[in-house]
Structure formats: structure tokens, C-alpha cells
A and B are shown apart, each in its own frame.
Chain A
């Protein structure tokens, strides 16, 4: 039965990586197979679902969905572009900075969906290809999302699984390394793409002449939505003091947002990406099946043997292993499988260093390939729809070196401060 559990999970991972079938269908089919074939019984399957993760994701989807129509995110991206004054290197850093910031406090996929369309518009005005700018933003979104508990799905799963790790812990332990990685990799990309960023004289004036605030003037519920968004982010910072889980913060924020800023609740709830939530449900059940059948325990035990019980070696294996796994498959299912492995490695004890290694590996590994993170798939999809297709190899040629550089930074950081 343990072989069957492993076979179903590996087949699901392969299908997700190959993108032959929608990932949600694969995850749900894998979960259904595990339940129907008796790998995991139905009560255990329901218990395996991490409802806190789903609550946090759904809450943030509602909050962002109701804030987006105000135009405030477009305003932010445009103002950043104007601050560059037509200097292409400054433009790259500012757009990467805005993307990284939005990723940290919303999530990386949302940040990409908000920033990439504006970037296409800016590139059109500047008469430059949007591809280098968008690729820089995708990589910045995955690095920026590493900085907080809510920034990237792997962090959401880790943060909701280990209650000892607060929102502030994520920022204190991950934001500095994310910031350094963001600066270094953006500089690298600005250097690589320097020829693509050459702006014809006079084009910068087109950007400077824009009035980003025009869309905000007629926005309904602007002040209310911004107040709720700010309140929710503040509550994340203080959730341990308030004795509430991050999921409760997100769902409370979403509820307040619905009360004060949703004219039509049905339409507001259409912003919830049900396919993503069901993808997580399927994954949790499959990983529950692996746990029930001892597969996770066996992997952890093998890892412990390989590393000879050394915390440093374990941390390095988790960091680089999570990055490689995330790059090949998708960082969400890989993290879902790795969380119980890290639990097992620690036995009954708790060492936050291994969790930071997992977060850094999964989030940074998400930059390596086009399929490694949902933000990459979304951004390349938008580029494709708007006539700027990016091949798997082209993404890899940019993503893999950036991943390598950021992992080296993470390795130094973990060795110096965490392991």
C-alpha cells in the first residue's frame, strides 16, 4: 500500500510538471484514488486538509479582489515607473521593488497579475520589449514573496503548519535574505538585459506626462478598502499578540471588506480562485496518504542517515533539495510533501532553521523554471496572450542563474545565522 501511495503521488507530480492536465484535476484525481483505493480512509483524508491554509488563501483573495478595482495597484506601478525618469536601470529596480513589495504583503501570484499588465502598457509606451521587464518582475515576485508568511504559498503552508512561527518571525528571519537576493539578482538582470532597456529619446516624457491618479478619482470605496487592507496587514504583524491565527486575520479582513466595500457579495466572491483552493485540498489529501502509509517517515529516515544527524547538513539538503524539487515540479506540491519530512527529521523537537531552509529553497527554487511557481505560469500566460511568447528554454536561461545566485546567498545566510 505504501508503494501504491508513492506511485500515485509521483504520477501526480509528473502530470503537474508536464502540464498535460490541469493541476487541480490531477491533485483531486490523485486524492480520490488514494481514498477509493484505501490508501487513506475518508476521515483521515478530511483531517489531512489544512483548513487554515485554505482560509488564509481565500481571505487574501477576497481582500485583493475588492481592492484591485480601485486602481491603487496600477497607481503604485505607474508612480514607480515615473520615479525612474526614463532611466532604464532605475525602471527595472523600481518595478522589481514594487513587485517584491506587493508579493510580500499580498502574495506573489496576485502581485504578478496586478503588475504585469501595467508593465505591458509601459513597455508599449517606451517602445521596448516587455519580456525582460516581465521576467525580472516574475523573479522579483518569487523572491519578494519569500519575505513574509503570506508572500508565497510554501510560506503560507509552513506558517500555518508550525504555529510557533509567527508573521514577524518570517519577516525577521527571511526578509533580510530576500532583500539582498532581490537587489543582487535585479542588478544581474539589469546587466544582462541592458540592451533591451534602451529607451528612445523622448519616450520617457510619455511616461512622465501620465496622470496615474486619474483612475483613483472615481474609485468607489477607495478609502474603505485601503483602510481594511492596511488594518489586515497590521493585524498580521500583531497576530501573536492578538492570539489569532493568520487565517483568522485574513478571513476577518475579508469579512470586513465584504461588509464595507462589496456592493454585490456574489460578484465579490467570484474573485476567490476555487481551482487553487481545490488544488490544495487534493495535495493535502495525497500527502496525508503518504504520511499514513509511512512514506514520509521513510524519506525522513533516509535523509537523516545521509546527513548523519548533522543539523547543518540537514539544512543544506532541505534547502537545495527543496529548490531542485520545486524547480522540477511546482513549489506547492513539493512543499506540501516536504513539511511532514521536516517534521519527522526534527522528531519531537523544534528548530526554526530547518523551516527557513525549506522556505528559502521552495520559494527561490520557484524561479528556476516556467512551471516552478504559479506566478511564472501566470506571467508567461499573459505574455503569450498579448503576443510575446516566452519558451521554456528562454525562461530557464534567465531563471536558473538567478535561482543559483539566490540559493548561494541563502546558503551563506543559513550557515552564518541559522544552522
Chain B
């Protein structure tokens, strides 16, 4: 079964949307990452829960490994969230190589393992079809095994 036949979630956000809108959409969606689309509906990046985390929490967190001693600095966190919320989501998005709708599930599984992404955009002839999550991919396989 090619990827186009799997349960894809049409989860995307325009690159001009602000972070607060993207965060709300991500919270409401059933996938851990969104495709970021330009005005021609082409995939220009991916915005995941990890990107949201990096946007909302201090930048040094990605550099330090030990923080058990660190309490929440409520004013600083509030200020960071306030300043980040109005910035366009494209500032936090990362480049991504979309999956093609005709590719195999095994290839998709390999891409998930090696990119570390939890969900990847699926495109057909450059057009965005939807996001495929690891859960959707694996659930589809297990469901088919159960039917047999």
C-alpha cells in the first residue's frame, strides 16, 4: 500500500502565520508536526513540537545537559513566550525532505528512523497531501495484520 492510501492528516500552516497560531493548531491536531507551506502551497519546512519547545524555552537548553537544579524562572519564561508568540512560524521551521505519495511504507519507516522526525509531509507531484505520523504508519500496518 503506497503512502497516499494511509491515513494522512492535512495539517499545515502558512509560513506567515505567527507562532501562537501554529502552537494552537499543533495542540489541536493529531500529529506532532506540521508542514509549513508557502503561498503556492509548496512545503518549505516542518514545524514540530520540539521546534515549539525551542521557541518557548530559553535557547541555552539545547546546549546544557543538566538542569535538575534549575527552578522555573517565571518572569523570564513569560517574557520569552510573549516575545516569541508574535513572530512568524517560518523563523522556527526547519527544512525537510517530504515523502512522495508513491513511496513504500518501508521507505517511510527508514526515513522516520534516520531523520528523527515524528511526522513527515507527504507530497504528490509537489502538492502537499498531508502529514504522515509514525503512529499512523504503524497503526495501519498492525490493523492490516489483524484483518488477516
Residues of A in contact with B (beta carbons under 8 Å apart): 68-69, 71, 74-75, 78, 116-118, 120-121, 124-125, 127, 206, 209-215, 218, 382, 385-387
Question: Dominant SS at the B interface?
Answer: loop
Smallest CB separation, A110 vs chain B (Å): 14
From B64, which residue of chain A is reached at the shortest CB distance? A117
- Contact A69 B63, CB 8 Å, known A121-B70, A124-B76, A125-B73: no
Q: Report whether B69 and A210 are in contact in the complex, using a CB–CB cutoff of 8 Å.
A: yes
CB-CB under 8 A from A125, the residues of chain B are 73
A117→B65 CA distance, assembly (Å) = 9
Q: Add 17 more A-B contacts to A116-B63, A215-B67 (CB < 8 A).
A: A68-B65, A71-B65, A74-B66, A117-B60, A118-B64, A120-B59, A120-B60, A120-B64, A121-B60, A121-B64, A124-B58, A124-B60, A124-B76, A125-B73, A127-B76, A215-B68, A386-B58
A121→B62 CA distance, assembly (Å) = 11
Does B71 touch A at the CB level, under 8 Å? Answer: yes
Question: Dominant SS at the A interface?
Answer: helix
A78→B66 CA distance, assembly (Å) = 11
- Contact A71 B66, CB 8 Å, known A124-B58, A387-B59: yes
23 residue pairs A–B, Cβ–Cβ below 8 Å: A68-B65, A71-B65, A71-B66, A117-B64, A118-B64, A120-B58, A120-B59, A120-B64, A121-B60, A121-B64, A121-B67, A124-B58, A125-B73, A210-B69, A210-B70, A210-B71, A212-B69, A214-B68, A215-B66, A385-B62, A386-B60, A386-B63, A387-B59
Partner of B65, one of A74, A209, A211, A387: A74
CB-CB under 8 A from B70, the residues of chain A are 121, 210
Smallest CB separation, B122 vs chain A (Å): 31
A209→B69 CA distance, assembly (Å) = 9
CB-CB under 8 A from A211, the residues of chain B are 69
Q: Report whether B63 and A117 are in contact in the complex, using a CB–CB cutoff of 8 Å.
A: yes
CB-CB under 8 A from A68, the residues of chain B are 65
From B75, which residue of chain A is reached at the shortest CB distance? A127
CB-CB under 8 A from A75, the residues of chain B are 66
CB-CB under 8 A from A214, the residues of chain B are 68-69
Smallest CB separation, A266 vs chain B (Å): 16
Q: Report whether B65 and A385 are in contact in the complex, using a CB–CB cutoff of 8 Å.
A: no
CB-CB under 8 A from B58, the residues of chain A are 120-121, 124, 386
CB-CB under 8 A from B73, the residues of chain A are 124-125, 206
